[in-house]
Chain A
Amino acid sequence: MIGPLSTSSLNGERLRFQVVVYLVVSVFVVLLLRLWFLQIIKGESYRNLSENNRIRLEDVPPTRGIIYDRHGRILVDNRPAFKLALVPADVSDLEQTLGKLGRLLKVEKPLLEEKVKSAPRGAPFRPILLNRDMDRDQVAAVETHRFNLPGVMVQIEPRRSYEMPSFAAHLIGYLGEIEEAQLKERRHQGYKLGDYLGKYGVEMEWEADLKGLRGGRQVEADAAGRQLSILREVSPEPGHNLILTLDTQLQLRAESALEGKAGAIIAMDPTTGDILAMASSPAFDQNQFVRGLTPSEWQAIVDNPLHPLENKAIQGQYPLGSTFKPVVATAALEEALVDPQTTFSCSGEYQLGNQVYRCWRKRGHGQIALYQAVVQSCDIYFYQLGQKLGVDLMSAYAQRYRLGSRTLIRLNNEAGGLVPSAQWKLRRFGVPWQKGEDLVTAIGQGFLLATPIQMGVFYAAIANGGKFLRPRVVLRVEDPDGGVVKNVSPEILGNLNLSPDSITFLQHALEGAVNEPKGTGQAARLRGRLRSIKVAGKTGTAQVVRAPEDEEEDQDESEVPYEFRDHAWFVAYAPAEAAEILVVVLVEHGGHGGSAAAPLARELMEEYFKNRPPVQEAKSGSPSTGPVDELRSSRSGQAGSPAAKLGTGWQQAAGSN
């Protein structure tokens, strides 16, 4: 028979079916042989494995990255924690065991029973966690009685440890156990119930770098739960270490300066955006969060009227007060409404319609030019600028200074502040903008709100000649061996597009505010050996509830109830001619910026310059590399000769006043 060779040429259906039957039967024979091999030939050894020995899977948690300050000092580390667990299947008498454990641990037995009851059912070999972090005495007590406690195990796991409790709590943040809702999110894939993850601050924002990779092992344990051997192990990969921009000494100083007050202090490098210190008061102890807060501890934190959990440096939104005046001055100069020589008369009062607006200085400032108006923070001068500019123009300039938008600092919960406009008010309140509100806005009151970090970025732009820097919190990420994983370079987010003259004018006016005889920020002058380092800054006193015209310069702040006292602002940088450090101080209900905030800024700057020989040498010796250098040199170029020339002119004009 000649025909094409094919499967159907297995002639006739009958033959084809025969082949199929053979194939099916032979597959089943193979499966049976395999079963025979596993169950009869190797049966005994598998039976042993299943009965006498139990192979279990254990997680090996990775060690989380260590957090250092900019000088390599350890801020956050891991320490071993002893956890106590119970394997129900291995416990002979649960009641008795829990009773013994209760006595050894000195805890109530019902508390332990509760934990056993709430464990998922139907998994008698899954250890139930009784205590995550036993103290020394507890570990010793349990270890000595181990033989009478079958099914009880003590394991060591790394535990986050914040070396200085409450140090930079808001910036560094804390860890907490993952929540069930979080487990379901895609970005939390790979996490398991009971895992810790960053919930606040750097710990949260840099979670991916810090966390590391979980390992695990197959463990052979005997029926009593004792580990016989580790069969196979996958080592965990430790997380990456973070080098923060923080300077520990400066941070400590900032925190002690805020002790007993509510408020925030930021110290940053105006050439790079590095956050050298960021303190928010009151703070909290991060170790409490890792350990797990008791309900009463949690309640105490939540009920605290000073909101310890809020990072006031980036979340707190405050009226700007006079620290807003540079924006208004810029707007007036750029729009050519005034020049530095334009004078207004300040009698202490200004009338608009039938409303009287007062200067903070009752007697008034007399004939005053723009330079002195900034230096002495004359309200009457700025009322008139506000009247000329109107809210929308002021808002446009405020936005140029990046007020009203987040600084993009890599920390959670940053607030954006508020820059009002006529249209915004109409939309929000259904009421048109009033003329008088132009005046109020010009001195930083009314609807305007900003966070301390926004003020930092805003003044840094004045200090560095117009560059908006993204505040930098982490300098670099390193692997456990110290190799650099990534460098976080300074980022310029934009430019203040102003004429160099305007910037120079502001720089000089801010220097004047601290160094002129009548300046409002005199309390920020450095003392003693550091006298030669000139500080530039601006005070602000932000009214909380009182209408601006009710303010009285010589009212004793202590007579006013705390919650009605003004917020005190001070933003300053030094050295004035080539700024290296910028400090923002905000004291909630602290009173006047000049008296309540400026001294704190001085304290920080003195700390910063304390080991510094005279300024000139310090400048050349300051450690800076790459883009930093570039920023620095461009800044000093900016502050060159024409500015200086103009500057002296204003000062003379002011002096004649």
Chain B
Amino acid sequence: MIDRRLIQNFDWLLLLLTFAIMTVGLVTLYSALFSGGEVRSTVVTRQLYWLGTGALVMILAFSIDHQWFERFAYPAYVIGLVLLLAVLIFGKTVSGSKRWLDLGLVVAQPSELMKPLLVIALARFFARQEKKGGYRLRELWLPALMVILPVALIAMEPDLGTAALLLAISVSVILFVGVRLSSIMVLGGFALGSLPLFWFLMKGYQRQRILTLLDPGRDPLGAGYHIIQSKIAVGSGKFWGKGFLEGTQGQLRFIPEHHTDFIFTVLAEEWGFVGSMLLLALFLCFLLRGLNVARRSRDQFGTLLAFGITAIVFWHVAINVAMVLGMLPVVGIPLPLVSYGGSSAVVTLASVGILMNVAMRKFVFQK
């Protein structure tokens, strides 16, 4: 099974970039949990444990033949849906929404898992039905259904941020395979037209967050405070940053969730523009490399798979950083491999594994 060519084709750069991002993440996490001379080290240890688990899953993901992904794309997708349904029924309620599923040993977030599963399912669908000249709307009902089901289930948790993220990833993939311009315009018009409906369906706090983005003074004690403190943390880093463990905003607990969704503020405060730029550059290299893998894959499934996974990482980074910098409403989207979180770490590394899998086998599978 392990071909010499496979090892030759192993994407070392991708692995290096992944490790670099993980290292920056761990250092920042340590700093985020450091306060008054002590560090809540158990969290760092747990994250290490999760990243280690993720690395094993990653190895598994690039070792197996990626035909397997294609073969089991739909069953895996259905399992993902069942888990999402289960979370709505048996899920653990944390601050008002059911996002977590207690699996005995671990508590997991099925919505995280759904991201690669949906990408695999979409890749499988479009790989089998290649179409010259772009898809028409009526040819897209099945993938549309495949997208809408999990998006709706996640939105019901409610986790509007992740639902929107899943939608963005799917739309990226569908647009990438090609849709007629007229169809795009119809869809776009429809989406714009349904915006008021979305507004109507949103919960009070979700509306608040959007209004708060437009005017941080609106909710000075809640999201507005969050955004203002976040901006102060980032801005106060200036060019060189305050130095490792020297940040005050994060350590002083001004920023809630500073070790999960808002971890970028800790980096930006302590390492300044230089550090922030470095992490963004690492991510950009990773994404460009991912696109390169997609481009060089010789089969359509591999291309779409690599593209989709790159899209997952792209949207996470873009939304998370934009949110931290006060350009998007506050939503619960983690920064991949940097934010603390087990499900996110394992699923992201598994996705990277899939990406490597495609990279290694670019010459093996030729139709």
Which residues in A have some Cβ–Cβ distance to B below 8 Å? Answer: 3-9, 13-14, 16-17, 20-21, 24-25, 27-28, 31-32, 34-36, 38-40, 42-47, 49-51, 54-57, 89, 121-126, 216-218, 231-234
Contacts and interface: CB of A to CB of B under 8 A. Distances in A.
Contacts of A51: 236, 248
Contact of B234 (A20, A35, A217): A35
B332 interface: no
For A35, A47, A55, which residue has the most chain B Cβ atoms within 10 angstroms?
Answer: A35
Contact of B235 (A39, A121, A217): A39
A21 B294 CA distance: 12
Contacts of A56: 254
A7 B176 contact: yes
A234 B220 contact: yes
Interface in B87-109: none
Contacts of A13: 295, 303
Looking at chain A's contact residues, the main secondary structure is helix
Contact of A121 (B38, B232, B248, B303): B38
A318 B327 CA distance: 69
Given A122-B36, A123-B253, A31 B236 contact: no
B295 A50 contact: no
Contacts of A231: 220
B280 A218 contact: no
B176 A16 contact: yes
Contacts of A9: 133-134, 178, 181
A89 B183 CA distance: 60
Nearest to A25: B284
Contacts of A40: 238-239, 273
A258 to B, nearest CB: 48
A36 B273 contact: yes
A35 B325 contact: yes
Nearest to B96: A189
Interface stretch (B15-23, B144-152, B223-231): B223-231
Nearest to A232: B220
B346 to A, nearest CB: 25
28 contacts: A4-B134, A5-B134, A6-B134, A6-B179, A7-B181, A8-B133, A8-B177, A9-B181, A17-B291, A28-B280, A28-B283, A31-B318, A31-B325, A42-B235, A45-B235, A47-B236, A50-B236, A51-B236, A54-B252, A55-B232, A122-B40, A123-B252, A124-B36, A124-B252, A125-B254, A216-B220, A218-B220, A232-B224
A51 B235 CA distance: 12
Q: Which among A31, A34, A45, A89 has the highest number of chain B CB atoms within 10 Å?
A: A31
Contacts of A34: 322, 325, 327
Given A9-B178, A35-B234, A38-B234, A57 B327 contact: no
Contact of A57 (B221, B234, B238, B318): B221
Contacts of A217: 220-221
Nearest to B307: A20
A218 B254 CA distance: 12
Contacts of B221: 57, 216-218, 234
B162 interface: no
Contacts of A54: 252, 254
A124 B273 CA distance: 27
A126 B253 contact: yes
A32 B274 CA distance: 11
B268 interface: yes
Given A39-B276, A43-B239, A24 B287 contact: yes
A46 B235 contact: yes
A629 to B, nearest CB: 44
B314 interface: yes
A111 to B, nearest CB: 23
Contacts of A42: 235
A216 B318 CA distance: 33
Given A5-B181, A6-B133, A232-B224, 10 more contacts: A6-B135, A6-B178, A8-B133, A31-B280, A39-B234, A43-B238, A124-B35, A124-B252, A125-B252, A234-B221
Kindly list the 4 A-B residue pairs having the minimum CB-CB distance in the complex, ordered from nearest.
A8-B178, A6-B134, A46-B235, A232-B220
A56 B221 CA distance: 10
A17 B287 CA distance: 12
B252 A89 contact: yes
A38 B231 contact: yes
A27 B318 contact: yes
Contacts of A50: 232-233, 235-236, 248-249, 269
Given A6-B133, A20-B176, A39 B237 contact: yes
A36 B234 CA distance: 10
Interface string B36-48: 1010100000000
Nearest to A125: B252
A16 B327 CA distance: 28
Contacts of A38: 231, 234-235, 325
A69 B314 CA distance: 65
Nearest to A234: B221
A31 B316 CA distance: 13
A35 B268 contact: yes
Contacts of B183: 6
B133 A20 contact: no
Contacts of B232: 46, 49-50, 55
B133 A3 contact: yes
Interface in B189-239: 217, 220-221, 224-225, 228-229, 231-239
Contacts of B235: 38-39, 42-43, 45-47, 49-50
B182 interface: yes
B237 A43 contact: yes
A549 to B, nearest CB: 62
Contacts of A47: 235-236, 238
Contact of A125 (B184, B229, B253): B253
Contacts of A124: 35-36, 252
Interface in B238-271: 238-239, 248-249, 252-254, 268-269
B286 to A, nearest CB: 11
Contacts of B132: 8
Contacts of A20: 176, 291, 307
Interface in B288-338: 288, 291, 294-295, 303, 307, 314, 318, 321-322, 325, 327
Contact of B239 (A27, A39, A55, A89): A39
A35 B325 CA distance: 7
Contact of B314 (A7, A16, A17, A24): A24
B173 to A, nearest CB: 11
B175 interface: yes
Contact of A39 (B134, B268, B284, B291): B268
A42 B273 CA distance: 12
A5 B325 contact: no
A308 to B, nearest CB: 40
B129 to A, nearest CB: 13
B202 to A, nearest CB: 20
A217 B220 CA distance: 7
Nearest to B231: A38
Select the residue from A51, A121, A218 with max chain B CB neighbours within 10 A: A218
Nearest to B220: A232
A595 to B, nearest CB: 61
A226 B37 CA distance: 25
Contacts of A8: 131-134, 177-179
Nearest to B216: A232
Given A24-B291, A31-B321, A125-B252, A4 B133 contact: yes
Nearest to A59: B221
A32 B277 contact: yes
B180 interface: yes
A413 to B, nearest CB: 30
B272 interface: yes
B294 to A, nearest CB: 7
Contacts of B295: 13-14, 17
A24 B287 CA distance: 8
Contact of A21 (B234, B273, B288): B288
